[in-house]
Amino acid sequence: MKEITYRQATALDLGQILSIMGHVNYLSFRFGRQNTKHARETVKGEFHSRNFFVCALKNKILGYAIVGDAVALMHNPLKLTKKKYAYLMGIGVLPMHQGKKLGTNLLKHIVEKYQELGYIGIYSDVGSDNSWSIKFHLGLGFILVGSYKNSQRPKHTLSLVFLKKF
């Protein structure tokens, strides 16, 4: 799909981003049963302290990713070097557009932008039950650097921490 653009999101994209977050279960993963209004307001409040990226076909947003600085935003029990590393806090593509390389291209765009900013790598957290996302990360050159138990995830599911060095 040639007409797809990959870019930093604007506040005007937030409504569509939140809708995709609902479709890919990001809101329920992060906020559990808390009411949707609270979840949406929290994400909107984070817009200025994190970098939101989108892939879009004209005005239609098909996927999003949220990236931040690992020192400020990556909180896990693993002893990992965080300085000069970015942290992928979430990525999602509308279900009917998954498997068409949109996520891959969006992440490649993000890597370019963070390299320009002087970062030397990017971390990401993936549920051990999310085999598509694990394949997605491995295909992009991420390597597994650790795992930990995360109470946000279902029982018997670990958080796997992946790293891609630039």
Ligand X SMILES: CC(C)(COP(=O)(O)OP(=O)(O)OC[C@H]1O[C@@H](n2cnc3c(N)ncnc32)[C@H](O)[C@@H]1OP(=O)(O)O)[C@@H](O)C(=O)NCCC(=O)NCCS
* Count of residues engaged in binding ligand X, rule: CB under 6 A: 18
Among 38, 60, 135, 165, binds ligand X (CB under 6 A): 135
Which pairs from 76-80 meet CB under 8 Å and 24+ separation?
76/125, 76/148, 76/150, 76/159, 76/161, 77/148, 78/145, 78/146, 78/148, 78/161, 80/123, 80/145, 80/146, 80/161, 80/163
- Does residue 104 belong to the site contacting ligand X (CB under 6 A)? yes
CA nearest neighbour of 158 among 67, 64, 78: 78
Among residues 139 and 141, whose Cβ is nearest to ligand X?
Answer: 139
Among 16, 51, 133, 159, binds ligand X (CB under 6 A): 133
Among residues 76 and 98, whose Cβ is nearest to ligand X?
Answer: 98
Among 130, 147, 150, 157, binds ligand X (CB under 6 A): 130
Residues 6+ apart with CB under 8 A from 89: 50, 66, 67, 68, 73
Binding segment for ligand X among 37-45, 87-95, 111-119, 141-149 (CB under 6 A)?
87-95
Residues in 28-67 at the binding interface with ligand X, rule: CB under 6 A? none
- Does residue 92 belong to the site contacting ligand X (CB under 6 A)? yes
CA distance 67 to 81: 17
- Does residue 99 belong to the site contacting ligand X (CB under 6 A)? yes
Which secondary-structure segment (H or E) carries 44? helix 36-46
User: Which residues in this chain contact ligand X in the complex, by CB under 6 A?
Assistant: 24, 91-93, 98-104, 126, 130, 132-133, 135-136, 139
